[in-house]
Every structure is written in C-alpha cells, then in structure tokens.
Structure 1
Amino acid sequence: MIKKITIGLLAIACFFNAEAQAPKQIAVQTNNISLLLSVGVNGRVYQNYFGKKLLNPADNAALVSTRHEAYITGSMEDQFEPAIKVTHSDGNPSLVLQYVSDAQTKAADGATETSIELKDPKYPVSVVLHYLAYDKEDVIKAWTEIKNAEKSALTLTSYASNMLHFDADKYFLTQFHGDWASEAKMQESELTNGSKVIDSKLGTRANEYTSPLFMLALNKKADETSGEVMLGTLAWTGNFRFQFEVDQLNSLRVITGINPYGSEYHLAPGKTFTTPALVLTYSTTGKGQASRNLHKWARQYGVLDGTQPRMTLLNNWETTGFKFDEQKLVTLFDGANKLGVPLFLLDDGWFGNKYPRVNDKAGLGDWDENKSILPHNIEYLVKQAEAKGVKFGIWIEPEMVNPKSELYEKHPEWILKNPMRDENYQRNQLVLDLTNPKVQDYVYGILDNMMTKNPGIAFIKWDCNRTMSNAYSTYLKDQQSHLYVDYVLSLYKVLDRVRAKYPHLPIMLCSGGGGRTDYGALKYFNEFWLSDDTDPLERIYIQWGYSNFFPSNTMAAHITSWNKTASIKYRTDVAMMGRMGYDIDVDKMTPAELKFSHQAVADYTRLSPVIWQGDLYRLISPYDENRADMMFVSEKKDKAVFFNYFLNKRYKEVMTNVKLQGLDPQKKYKITEINLMEGTKGTMPDNGKTLSGDYLMTIGLGMPRGSTLQQTSNVLELTAQ
C-alpha cells in the first residue's frame, strides 16, 4: 500500500514538474492573425509562428520551436544578418538577450500591447520588444526600445524595429519604386537564396526612389482575392532598410527599420532609443483584404482626422506659376466658386523682399509677404476669399533655404553643408539643420506666426523639395552619424508642437511629389501629394500602387492640364478615386467643361463618404490589362461607386465583363452612370438597370465595345433598392 502511494506521489510530482518545465509562450493576436513567441531553456525568446490565427488556442503549444530567435543579436552564434548590432564601452561587440518579463495591457486606443523585456546577462543593456495588436483591423505595430545602463555610451550599429521569420516553399516580394513624377511603380520578384535589400539613403525626401512599402506572398504569388500575403510599411520619415534573407534551409528572415547606413548611433548612459514602428497586416485571401485591413486601421489610428471630411480645392500653380499679384489671385477665387470647391490654395512665390521669390532661385527662407505683389499681406487675401465664400490655404517649405536669401546671410550655421566641400544644390536650395533647437523654433515659428496673424487660414501645404547631400551639422559637432536619425526626430518635435496648438488644421504632406509617403508623418497630416505627375494615365498607375497601403482620403489627386490631350472627363474620373482637387486655369475651360466640372464636384461631394470611408476592391489591374477597374463599397453595402479606366486599348481589343466584389448578394442595385458631359449618353451596357448583388458578382458588368475607347472612362453609382 505504501509502495502504491509513493508511486502515485512520484507520478504527480513528475506531472507538476513537466508543467513547470513547459516553455512559456507569448501570443500576440488579432481577430485573425497570430504571432507566437516562446522562451527557450537558454532564456532566449523565439518566434514559433506567424500567420492565420488557429481556432483552438490549445494547438499553439504544438508550435513551440527554438529554430528562429525573435530578435537576433550580432557577433554571436548566428552568422546571418542580425536585428541588432552593438559595441559596448569596453570595445566588446557581442550581445546576448535573455528573457526577463512580459506584460499585456490595453492601450488608450483599445489595442492590446504586448511588451517583452530582454537583458544581457553580462552587460547592463536591455531591449524591450513591443507589439500593438488591433483586433478588428487585423493590424500589428511592432517596435523596439534599447536601454543603456552602462557607465559610458553604447554604440548602436544596427537597430531594427522588428524581425520576422518565415518557412515556406517560395517567397514573392512586391516592392514600390520610381523617381520624381513616376512614383510607386510595382515590381514583383521571387526571392532566392541570399539577401535582397530595399533601402533609402536620401535623408529628407527619403522616399523619392523607393517607398517604405512591401508585400510578401508565401508559397505562391498572391492576387487580389487569393493567396497568403503580408503587407508591411515603416512609420518613419527618413532613411529605411528592409532586408529579406533566405538561408540554406530556405527560411526567410525579414528585418525592417531605420537604415543603419551612415547612422551609427551613440546611446548615452541612462538613455533609451526607441525605433519607429513597423505597421503590418496579413491575409490568407489575397492583397485586397490586406489593403482593406490597413485602410481601416489608417482611418481610425494612422492618419490625422482620418474619419473626417476633406475639402476639395483649387490650386493656382498651373495657372500662374510664379507670375501673379494680389488682384490676380482675387480673381482666381471666382474660379473656385465656378467649380463649386470650398478652398483656394496659394502655392509657391508669395514671399521674399530683399530677394523676391520670383523663381526657385531666391527667397526660400524669408517668409515675409512680398510687398510688391501682396501689398496688403495675406490677411487681405483671406478676407477677400471669405467675402466670396471660399476658404484660403497657403504653401510653405519651412525646412529649406535658398543661398540667395536673408536667412542664409544671417544664419549660415543653421544650414546643413559640409565645411570642407562645395555646396551642392537641388532646386537651388539647401536643407536647414533641424537638429538645432533654434532652427526647430524658427521652423515652428513660420507656421505659428502665419496662423497667429491670419487665423482664417484654413489649409497648409507643407513641402520638402530636396534630399540631403554633402550634409554636415555644425550643431551635432562630433556626432555627425546621428544626423539622418536626429533630423527626423527633430521634425517630429516641430510637428508635435504644431499639432499641440493647431490639432485639426488641415495640412497636406508634400515632398516634390511622393518623397514622403509613410505613417510616421501621416499622424501629423491629413493627406499626402502622391506625385507631381498629374497626367491621368500615369496617375492611374501611381494611385493604384499607393492604394495598396493608403486609404483614398489620404491621396491628393488633382485635375490639371499636364496631359492636354486627355478629356476633362478622363482627368476628373481618375482624380475621383482619391481626394479630388483642381490645379487648372478655370478661365480657359469651355462652358461645357465648366458645367461638367461643377456637377462632378457636386456628385463627388455627395459620394465622398463612400469613396473615403468605404471598402476598396481593386478588380482589374492596369498591370494585367489595358484597363483598370476598382470600386468602393459602403460599410452597410447599400452604396457603391465603380470606376473603369481604359488605358492604351488596342484596335478591336475585346474587354470582358468585370465581376464586382463586396456587394450584398441578396440586395438589388440600381446602376447609374455619372460624370457625363452634357448631351452624351452613358456607354456602360448595364446603365439604368437594376441587378442583384449576386448577379453583379457572379456574371459581372458588361463593358463598352468599340475601337474608340482609348483613354476613356466610366463612373457608376450603385444604389441598393
């Protein structure tokens, strides 16, 4: 009997001991995504799984593995690219990170934050991995804190925001690249053994050639409605690096964060370095669902006032360039009224006295009204606009300076320029040293002084027209490797001050076009200028690319005369898929064009809640066919707006039906073609019909036929009956 009791007690003891030895598992989860990590017997944290959330939480325990360390350190056992590389004050380049603790809390915005503290057992250096999970949106933000408790500075050579591991048969990467006026070109390629790096080294206009955006499909190429795909973007308005490395076992590690190029960072004792966040989402049903996840998250959390209306506007740039005066501008306010838009935006060329801003060679930095063209100052323009029922907005480029300016003469120490080299100009200008607190005060003061004098200003366009080159900071002295990082952090300090005083002032983020396209900046801005290229044909591709990551109400799209052969309808229909605006000489429009445009603005205003807040479905890609089709569907599925754009259609090329998405199959929808020139009929075969959602998603909409559809377009309004 005693023997049986002893055996029983031993069995119970073994059971509890086995329970005690079971690896600790940490779950970062949304409604449909799961990132599982665990603590190994060596104290290190490992990624066990990333993908579709399992239905049975008990199954997570079967995924425990020590194959992929979650945040790999340099100069240790791993011989591939690390997430972090440091050098201690004694010259030792190694780092070991072991688990200390973890916690999960509810963030202020309702998301669940998971933090995992890791520490080196030999050195007083710790790292905290942060994950913020948004349940309904299926979005995760991931960033890292690095804390130095040593007595001297810790040198950070690499400091990634996040590291993820994947094990699949194949990997397909879509990147977004281009140049001025040709942004966001999509390019997909299969990853092979070795490293693929997407990065930027441009400083201010960091995204001019490459956007901080990527899509990663696993096992096979994903399309809009099928395939396993992750979308990632770095919330950082500076140099970034995405590294994709496939090892000898066909495992992929993805490392994202600030580009360490030229940015070795010396972390002072007692200080913490916080990396920018990687914003990611994942879908097992293709790119379309992943985009909708990001759009919903962005409108609620990622963009300033993302759920609020935007203003359609008229800009003067393509009408006047630098050649205008006070009275000319006042007459242009009438053009805004003729179009029916509520806002007029005055662009570059309104400032400078000693060095008047009559071209792009002078005046930048001297933000006083040019008395020869604005004798009654901005205040007069604001009042004149208000008298005509129009709000007034204005352009600034506060981070830059022309050598031919009073600011350059008074404060040469405020300018980024290498003292041993010739000055290097882009657009005849240089960059101000925002790392200097005096410059931060000056840049903030540009906007603050303008708004204090003219509280009626209703809109700001904040531009940034050059990258960094031959850059050197007098303020940073012997810490020049901090410049790229500290410039961005300093910009955020300025923008924090702006938003503290002017929390809801609409501001457009511009950088010579799409030079700044990231969620690090968009939390301060309402929208961004995608490209200076407003040719509607090119804009279809540019807007299509950006639509993978940004909702339509963030994408400023203007009707201009860039492509003078394109019809006003085609230009308008393309702009309608974003935040529509005008940069056009209204006086040169024909009566028919003006009447069409006025009605288009009214229809756009009426339909903008669907376009701005609805779910986007990209139906047919311009990369696949000689057309682009997309639609927005309201949350209640009672309203939809469909866009069809024919591109360079070939002779007798037949366009098949397009199957719609996102509708309620049980509802019936009245189809009405809008945006028609007076006296013309709709060309869509199903115009005027009432068809079920099931029919439209199964059979689809019929397409116009004929050889005269080159660069033509159609907009349909679908209303549930």
Structure 2
Amino acid sequence: MNKYNLFIALLLACGTAQAQLGQRIIVETDHTSLIMSVGKNGRVYQNYLGARLLNSADNMTLPQGREVYVGGGMEDSFQPAIRVTHADGDPSIELLFAKQSIERPTAGCTETIVTLKDPKHPITVKLHYQAFIKEDVIKSWTEIINGEKGEIVLNDYASSMLNFDAREYWLTQYHGDWAAEMKMQESKLTSGIKQIDSKLGTRAAMYQSPLFLLSLGKLSDETTGEVIVGTLAWTGNFRFHFETDQNNGLRVISGINPYASAYRLAAGKIFTTPAFIFTYSANGRGQASRNLHAWARDHDVMDGHKPRLVLLNNWETTFFNFDEQKLSGLFDDAVNLGVDLFLLDDGWFGNKYPRSNDKAGLGDWQPTKTKLPNGIGNLIKQAEAKGTKFGIWIEPEMVNPKSELYEKHPDWILRLPNRKEDEQRNQMVLDLANPKVADFVYQTMDDLITKNPGLAFIKWDCNRIMTNTWSPYLKDKQSNLYADYVLNLYQVFKRLRAKHPHLPIMLCSGGGARIDYEALKYFTEFWASDDTDPLERVYIQWGYSNFYPANVIASHVTSWGKQSLKFRTDVAMMGKLGYDIDVKKMTAEELTFSKQAIKNYKRLSDVIWYGDLYRLISPYQENRAVLMYVDSARSKGVLFNYNLNIRERETVNRVKLQGLDAAKRYKVEEINMMTGAKPILPDNGRVYTGDFLMKVGLDLNSWHLKALTSSIIEITAQ
C-alpha cells in the first residue's frame, strides 16, 4: 500500500473523530494537493493548492492561509462565499469546523466532506471535495442546511472559494454571441475585482462562457507554467468572481450568479450548489486539458467511452420545406454518403398552426399531417429499410404564441403580469419552475421516444434567453426562479435518462450556449456553434478543446464559407464529425472524397475521441493551427494541420510533435487527399523515430501552400 492509500485508510478508520484544532484536511490526487487546516478560532483555512508535496510530513508544516468559505456580515472586508439573512433578520453568518469525513463514491475517487456550523444559528454548511485521483481533477460543491424554524434567504451561495498567492495572475476567458462563440481574451488581473457572469437564464453561455484558465506567476502556454482550468457545472446564470486584495492575494469565488436570485430556503430544507470542477497543472495548459478530457470521458459525459454517430442533417438542404417524399430521397443521400444517421431538423410539427417558419407551432409536438401524414414512425421504418438510422430535432422548453399550447395554458409562460410580452425569435420560455410544466416537458420527450421505437438520436435545442422574467407559479418567491428552472430541468433530464439510458442526445442552444458538464451527464455531445464556416470553427473548436474532449464537440461539414470541401471536412474531423449539406449538389469527385473521409474518420475515431490531445501551434499566435491526438499506447496518432491566413511564400517553422514514444518508429502518411493531389510531405510514408519527430519535427507548410488549405497526417508505430 502506498503512502497515499495508507493515509486515506487511516482517515477512513478515524472517521469524524478528529475535530482537533490545527488538524489538516487533505484533498489529494496523483499530482495535486489541496490542504486545509482548522485554526485556533475554529474556522477552516486553505494552506496550500498546487503540485503534490512528495513528503507527506510537509503537509503539517504549511503556514495557515486564508479562510476557505468566508461568511458574510462578519469582519472580512472582501466578497464572501455565503451571505444569509436568518429568520430573525440577522444578516451575518460565521462558519466553524464541526467535523470531516471521507467517502469513496466511485472507484478512483475520494470525497472529503468538511462540515461547518454557525454557533449562533442552526445553519450547517457542508463543503464537498471530490478528488479524482488518476485524472488530477477536483470537484467541489456546497450543501446549505436550514435548521432554523423559519425561512432563511441565501443572498450569496458559492460552490467554491479558492485562494492564491502569486507574483502575477493572468486570466484567460471566452466570450461571444450567437455564431461567434469562444472568442479568447487574456488579461492580467490587477488590484480590485474582475467578474465573468451571465444573467440570461436560458442560453446562459451565449455571451460569456462558464469556464476559465487562471495562470499563476506568468502567462502559461501549452507546455509551461502553473495553471488552474475551471468550469461550473450549471445550465443557468453563473458568476466567477476574481478579487485581488491589498497584499496581492487572489480570491476566486465560483457559483450561481446571485443576481435577482436571493434564494428563499424553507425550514428543514437543503440547498445544494452546482459543482465547480477544476484541475491544476504545473506543466502548462495542455496537461490541464488532458486531465479534464480524461475525467469527462471517465466520470461525467453521457457514455463517454461509447461510439458516436456520424449524421447527415437536412437543415441546410430543405430548411422548413420538406415532405415524406423529399425526406425519403435524403435517406438515400445518407446511405450513399456512408453516415450512420439522418437527422430531421426543425419544421416537422404543428397542425392547427403548422410549422412552416419560426413564427408558429412550438409547443405542439405532433407531426404535421400535410407534411408527414404517416408520422415519425413511418420515417424511422423508411430510413431503416434503406440502411440508416433516424433522429429528430425538438425544442421542448419553448412555445410560440401562435400555438395550441399557448392558447390552452397562458399561465405556463414566463412573462411579467403587468407588461407587454417580450418575444424573441417569435417565441417565449415555458415556466419550468412550475412542476406541472416540467412534467409536460418530460412527457413530451418520453412520448416522442416511446411512441416511435427505433428513434436513434435527438437534438434538444433552446433558442432564446429569459427576459421580462416572472413566474405565475412562484408568486411571492420570484427570486427562486432562475435556480428552480434549472433544478427542475435537471429532474426532467434524470427522469428521461432513467427510462431511456443510452439514447444519443445532442445538447444545443442556438449554437454553443449550453456547454456545461452538469447537462453533459445526460447528453452525448453539444452543438458548438451555428457558425460552421471552417475558418471560424478552427478558433471556436480550439477554444472548446481546452475544456472538452473531441467526442462531445459536434462539428459539421456545411455550405458555410467559401473554402474547399476538403478544408471544411478536415476542420470538422477534429471533433465529432457530422454533415449538414446538400449531397446532391456535390460533384462526383467531392462525393468520392467525402465517402473516403468518413471511412478514414471511422477508422481513426478512437484516437480522436479517446486519445490525448496536444495543441502544437495556436491560431492566436500564428496564421495556422496544428494539433494532434495520440492513443494511450502511443502507437497511433492523428495530426491536423490548418493553414489559415498564410501569406504568399510566408516562412514558418517545422512543427515538433508531442506525446509519442521516443524509442518507437512511426510511419508518417498524409490521408484525406483529393484525387490527384500531391502530398504535403516530400517523402510521404517515411518512417521516423519518435525522438526525431518530437525534437526536429515535420515541415507541414511548404512555401507553395495557400491560405485556407489543410492536411491530416496519420502516424503509425511500426
């Protein structure tokens, strides 16, 4: 038994008996330590967060740091983690150590629970820290237990509070809009406050993404520097609070945005915050990303190690204009192309108000008889008879005013009672804070799946934010709305997955406005952006790759952009490949290329989906982007090379590969080539040592190559 396992065994044996002042609370993974201690005043302090100390005895000599979960209304001068108004009106809370316990919820994971109590009020706060040992990921959240006889108000209720002491702090954040997601910005944190937050309710990640990188001491890069990579597992309003104090100490608070959300918690009830998930790396961003990717596949994402389906979507081919006959022809296209699935997008529902555009039908989830007289089940049978699977799009949280649902249940809509309705995209948001409405959403989804056996895929969309937000159901508890909406949505997800555990479902929100790891427990992938121009997608998918494995980032070949079909395909293949293109408009050469590209993708998908990612050349630093995936045995790799705005005869350096075995020999060969094209490599198919490829590298950008061209290199151990 190693020292770590012995330490855990001793803690488990001791249970909660060690409530001594000065005791250490140790949360550790293979390479990271978070160490806390109980101070003389009974509060808990963070002593250390960083690379794991080799000598466990050193854990006991660390100096006391800053408090781990500061209560508001006391003597602290900065933003607290929690602020409470008690039943008697007292606005203060002090949290003192009561006990700690350690559990093993799953293999390879320990959960440390630190229980804190207020000495003046019967309020208990439990800090949970799950440590995923092999993946070097820590997941933290908080339980707040109201033991008072009356209702309390949670004015702030963070999931996590971390403290740092470094010479400098650099924040990497991602922002955007519809069709402009994941635009990276980097800035040095100076004295004072920096906040990243969302107040949108639904589509909560449209403007700001719920994730960040924090570099300590200097701005990190892919292979050097200390960095924290963090994200909040919450499908609603979030807030990251960065506060640098007068001594250059940094406090990072993560959790639900308390804006308009002072949560009223009834006596005897428990509020559980969403999880803040983070990893620490002393060796740059690349290692941090690989940590998160491994954790996601192993512990979070729905069926993280199971195959994904390559699909053909009809949207750009037909938009709303289709019928059974036209769809039947598209099934033939899917089979001819060689994909696994045909996905029917928006426009298949509504009868009193048929869905012929985006102005009607949302909420009336019955197939339009004039378009689909034989229903969805008949489409499934037709698709299967032709040799492909069938999937469908739905937007169950939304409603058009021009719908039967709206006419029957105007009280099911989020809207202010004394003001004009605010429509966006001609639609409104259903009140999922109301359990009856949540039941309707669940029943809609369950009926769609149950009544259509063989349905193989669902695209779950959510196309607008909350505005003029008021719930008829909540009445005098309107500040609970933003949180209760999300919590009830999770219950819908849980019920659906309990009955239909492995049906692939794509998480979509007008593009990449829902990308969090809590939702991804129930979804197999997310739609990264409605912008599928491959030049833009290089940047978008590059940003996502810092936080998410390739098998959850849906990336499709479409007609957006003026680049070649090869360039569009090569960009889409770095994620979870799909198509949204009119196959009949392809030339014979393009169709032949696409069929072979799909075969290549399926042959190499295990490396792309489950391999380790190495980002080699950033599009933010050069006019190109290069990345590669390597399998766990270091026997197979796939390298993606994109020339972006390369200028005529621009000089660029050789690319040094990463992640290979220096002692192995590798055949290096370009694939995904158009008929008659000349390989980018001067001696395509040559065998090199891993040592050479990592120290000397490959020349991937000869002077004759043009902007917006690409290559894919297969690397195979001999």
Which TM-score bucket, shorter chain as reference? over 0.9
Q: Which residue of 2 aligns with 1:676?
A: 673
Q: Which residue of 1 aligns with 2:415?
A: 417
Structure 2: how far apart are the matches of 1:684 and 1:558? 27
Q: Which residue of 1 aligns with 2:554?
A: 556
Structure 2: how far apart are the matches of 1:542 and 1:160? 29
Of residues 341, 344, 351, the one that matches 2:342 is 344
Q: Are the aligned partners of 1:653 and 1:707 in contact in 2 as well (CA < 8 Å)?
A: no
Distance 1:77-1:315 versus aligned 2 partners, 3 A rule: same
Q: Which residue of 1 aligns with 2:49?
A: 50
Q: Are the aligned partners of 1:38 and 1:64 in contact in 2 as well (CA < 8 Å)?
A: no
Q: Are the aligned partners of 2:205 and 2:514 in contact in 1 as well (CA < 8 Å)?
A: yes
Of residues 524, 527, 544, the one that matches 1:529 is 527
Structure 2: how far apart are the matches of 1:150 and 1:292? 44
Q: Which amino acid aligns with 1:688?
A: G
Greater than 4 Å deviation, 4+ residue runs: 19-22
Structure 1: how far apart are the matches of 2:102 and 2:451? 47
Of residues 566, 586, 590, the one that matches 2:587 is 590
Q: CA deviation at 1:652?
A: 1.9
Q: Are the aligned partners of 2:123 and 2:148 in contact in 1 as well (CA < 8 Å)?
A: yes
Of residues 578, 581, 599, the one that matches 2:578 is 581
Q: Which residue of 2 aligns with 1:3?
A: none
| Structure 1 vs Structure 2 CA RMSD | 1.0
- Residue by residue over 1:425-472, the C-alpha shift from the partner in whole angstroms, topping out at 9 and shown as x without a partner, is 111000001111111111111111111211110000000000000011
Distance 1:686-1:199 versus aligned 2 partners, 3 A rule: farther
Structure 2: how far apart are the matches of 1:262 and 1:21? 40
Write the mapping of 1:374-389 to structure 2, written as runs, cut at 5 A: 374-389=372-387
Ranges in structure 1 where 5+ consecutive residues have no aligned partner: 1-18
SS at match of 2:449: helix
Q: Which residue of 2 aligns with 1:611?
A: 608
Q: Which residue of 1 aligns with 2:362?
A: 364
- Residue by residue over 1:297-349, the C-alpha shift from the partner in whole angstroms, topping out at 9 and shown as x without a partner, is 00011100000000000000000000111100010011111110010000000
Distance 1:395-1:109 versus aligned 2 partners, 3 A rule: farther
Q: Which amino acid aligns with 2:191?
A: N
Distance 1:257-1:62 versus aligned 2 partners, 3 A rule: same
Q: CA deviation at 1:90?
A: 1.0
SS at match of 2:210: strand
Identity of aligned residues (%): 65
Of residues 148, 151, 154, the one that matches 1:150 is 148
Q: CA deviation at 1:110?
A: 3.5
Asked if 1:449 is matched to 2:447, the reply is: yes
Structure 2: how far apart are the matches of 1:64 and 1:248? 19
Q: Which residue of 1 aligns with 2:67?
A: 69
Q: CA deviation at 1:685?
A: 3.0
Asked if 1:571 is matched to 2:568, the reply is: yes
Q: Which residue of 2 aligns with 1:181?
A: 179
- Residue by residue over 1:569-598, the C-alpha shift from the partner in whole angstroms, topping out at 9 and shown as x without a partner, is 000000000000000000000000000000
Write the mapping of 1:635-646 to structure 2, written as runs, cut at 5 A: 635-646=632-643
Q: Which residue of 1 aligns with 2:7?
A: none
Distance 1:123-1:326 versus aligned 2 partners, 3 A rule: same
Q: Are the aligned partners of 2:21 and 2:42 in contact in 1 as well (CA < 8 Å)?
A: no
Q: Are the aligned partners of 1:95 and 1:120 in contact in 2 as well (CA < 8 Å)?
A: yes
Asked if 1:600 is matched to 2:597, the reply is: yes
Structure 2: how far apart are the matches of 1:171 and 1:154? 37
Asked if 1:629 is matched to 2:661, the reply is: no
Q: CA deviation at 1:601?
A: 0.2
Of residues 299, 312, 321, the one that matches 1:314 is 312
Q: Which residue of 1 aligns with 2:352?
A: 354
Q: Which residue of 2 aligns with 1:484?
A: 482
Structure 1: how far apart are the matches of 2:603 and 2:103? 41
Structure 2: how far apart are the matches of 1:61 and 1:325? 71
Q: Which residue of 1 aligns with 2:38?
A: 39
Q: Which amino acid aligns with 1:24?
A: Q
Q: Are the aligned partners of 1:292 and 1:616 in contact in 2 as well (CA < 8 Å)?
A: yes
Q: Are the aligned partners of 2:641 and 2:700 in contact in 1 as well (CA < 8 Å)?
A: no
Structure 2: how far apart are the matches of 1:434 and 1:22? 46
Q: CA deviation at 1:687?
A: 2.1
Q: Are the aligned partners of 2:647 and 2:706 in contact in 1 as well (CA < 8 Å)?
A: no
- Residue by residue over 1:677-712, the C-alpha shift from the partner in whole angstroms, topping out at 9 and shown as x without a partner, is 111121223521100100000000112323541100
Write the mapping of 1:268-287 to structure 2, written as runs, cut at 5 A: 268-287=266-285
Asked if 1:436 is matched to 2:412, the reply is: no
Q: CA deviation at 1:83?
A: 0.3
SS at match of 2:142: strand
Of residues 88, 91, 105, the one that matches 1:90 is 88
Q: Which amino acid aligns with 1:586?
A: V
Structure 1: how far apart are the matches of 2:43 and 2:683? 62
Q: Which amino acid aligns with 1:654?
A: T
Q: Are the aligned partners of 2:667 and 2:688 in contact in 1 as well (CA < 8 Å)?
A: yes
Of residues 651, 655, 676, the one that matches 2:652 is 655
Structure 1: how far apart are the matches of 2:683 and 2:544? 30
Q: Which amino acid aligns with 1:682?
A: P
Q: CA deviation at 1:86?
A: 0.5
Q: Which residue of 2 aligns with 1:13?
A: none
**Rg (Cα) greater in structure:** 1
Write the mapping of 1:76-115 to structure 2, written as runs, cut at 5 A: 76-115=74-113
Q: Are the aligned partners of 1:671 and 1:686 in contact in 2 as well (CA < 8 Å)?
A: no
Of residues 182, 192, 212, the one that matches 1:194 is 192
Structure 1: how far apart are the matches of 2:479 and 2:627? 45
- Residue by residue over 1:268-310, the C-alpha shift from the partner in whole angstroms, topping out at 9 and shown as x without a partner, is 1001100000000000000000000000000011100000000
Ranges in structure 2 where 5+ consecutive residues have no aligned partner: 1-17
Structure 1: how far apart are the matches of 2:353 and 2:149? 51
SS at match of 1:162: strand
Q: Which residue of 1 aligns with 2:241?
A: 243
Structure 1: how far apart are the matches of 2:716 and 2:144? 53
- Residue by residue over 1:91-111, the C-alpha shift from the partner in whole angstroms, topping out at 9 and shown as x without a partner, is 110111101000111113441
Q: Which amino acid aligns with 1:44?
A: R
SS at match of 1:581: strand
Q: Are the aligned partners of 1:74 and 1:82 in contact in 2 as well (CA < 8 Å)?
A: yes
